[in-house]
Structure 1
Amino acid sequence: MINVMTAVVGGVLIVATWLSVFRTVFTQGQAPTYAAMWTTRLAAGVLMPFGRLLGPTKRERLLALCAPLALFTMFGVWFTGSTVGFLLLATASGAVEPRQEDLGRMLAFRLDGTANLLAVMAALSGVLLVAAFGVHLSRVTAAYGRRELLVARLSVHANKPSDAEHVIATYVRTDSRGQLDAWFGDWADWLADINCTHVSAPSLVYFRAAGRLSWLEAAVIVLDAAALVEATAPDWAPPNTQVLLGAGADCLPRLAARVGIALSRPRISLHGREQCGFADTIQTTLFAGLPVARTQPVAWAVFQQERTKYAPYASAISARLQYGRDAAREYPVSVVTTEKTWGTS
């Protein structure tokens, strides 16, 4: 009976390990496997508290280890599960005794019969695990490269959410509505890629920003630009404006939920725009030549209706990851004020 139970446990370990491998490597856009999710949470739980005690430079160096640590811990879980599973099968079959020297001789291919066959199978499983992890690692690093490339391009023109109106003004002054539409389309594709890769591979969320501008701030800048165009000039807004806003409203709340952030949608969001009056924003876009068709109070209401779908979640994730001004905050704070103060200033 004990041998049967041992064999069942060993078989379950091997099957569970390879199911985790298949789901992690060959599925994207779906919920992460338990191995990917819990190893990421473990790495973040160990390193993130220490990050709050360090200065900016040392904090970045420490937290840069979070994602690699999570990935290689996941591989360690896979390898351990497979190896232990085959050892349990060998013990249950009676081919080896549950003694350290016999198990070591089996793994060194120094036994015959069933033990040697199981040793060969364990070695083959280990080789395939290394290959599968290599494929997964290459996909993760490729997704990270795609994420940071577009952010690096944006950082040349903008570095904070209040720069959104200046980005719009650049396109309006040059009468490049078509180019603005293409730009919105590129960022909608970027958000769709983030939504797909960062959900199924949660370690990607913890890869640090490659430059001064974080990917979360970049997302808010671009989404703010789309929201401002939609709020002030809906008839002029390019077709991809709503596509981009829909992608942001789907991606950022979903990512926030995946990293364990429960956040109710506020009525008003000023995250990153606390010092930027909406009246000044309207004047900037008007001066650039944007055909503003809505009154300021109506435009403010529409802008907030869109912004509350993404900005609070980006700020919450940024605080969790300890980026920039959010590094010292343990929990995200939703800044809510009245429409009278900001909508008509």
Structure 2
Amino acid sequence: MTMRWSYALNQWNNGHDRFVLREEHARAFKTVAVGGFDAVEIPCGSGRWEPLGRKDWIEKFYGSVAGLKDALAQCGIAAVSSFLFNPAEPIFEEGAFGLSVLKPADHPRILATLVQYAALLPALGGDTLVVRALPNWAADTAVTPEAMATAAACWNAVGAMAAEHGVRVALNFDCVTMARSADDIALLLDQCDPATVGLSLDTADAAIMGIDPAAMVERFADRICHVQLKNALYRDTLDEYKLPFPEKFLLAGGGARKITRWYTELGDEDGIVDIAAVHAALVAHDYRGWVVVESDQSPVPATSTLLNAWFVQNRLTVRGVAA
């Protein structure tokens, strides 16, 4: 088996009043399939924000999980490769308004929430549960062995639960996380069970933080089990990840430099990620997990999808995106 290719649906759902009709879902599925991808990644979350992000909402839209799988198949999509979960995001159906792996009291609720996704994934042809590993940076938190042991206890419990369903947990570190270096990431990863918990490498967010994603492949090749392959236009040279609510004021608001779009397509000549080098490193290490192509902040998701598909098919050394 070679590496497996998927496409992230998060760029299609760029507002709480979008992506709320089955026709919109089908349009996204078909566009992804036309690009040669036969799997998609879906964000978890409250049905108010993520209409495909919970089992009960999938059932409201499609009657059953099998109904969603059939609808995907009719559009040329064979599997949901992965679900993406952020403990800090509110889940109204569960009364959860910002859970943290750094708080032991929150661990049982995080575990209980993720049980449904571990059961869902095999039914949809997937096997990877991607979780935001740590909260945002904060002045009163630090990446210490003690704090990482607390976080690892949560993710090890989730990993053990998911393994019972044949699912692997992948820790994801975005550009506003409290972990700011490869050493920080290693401090948490080393305390997690390698049999059940691996690393999700986000190439664009690593570059925004100033970390070379190709070097990350070399260092963590034996732990990487999921890749979010995307490009970025800028590095956070002003350390604006320290802003309050950086998702709003830095990534959406552009920060002090008023950056309109941090992320871009794989082949953008202004991009700061050497996509080919990352891919070559994955090939050299015989990586066989999911590569989920992503284009956050796309003004036209369909265009970004097809541009990314062209790059994968014509600039990466694979025989089409499914190779």
TM bucket (normalised to shorter chain) is under 0.3
Bigger Rg, structure 1 or 2: 1
Greater fraction helix: 1
Could you tell me the TM-score, scaled by structure 2's length? 0.28
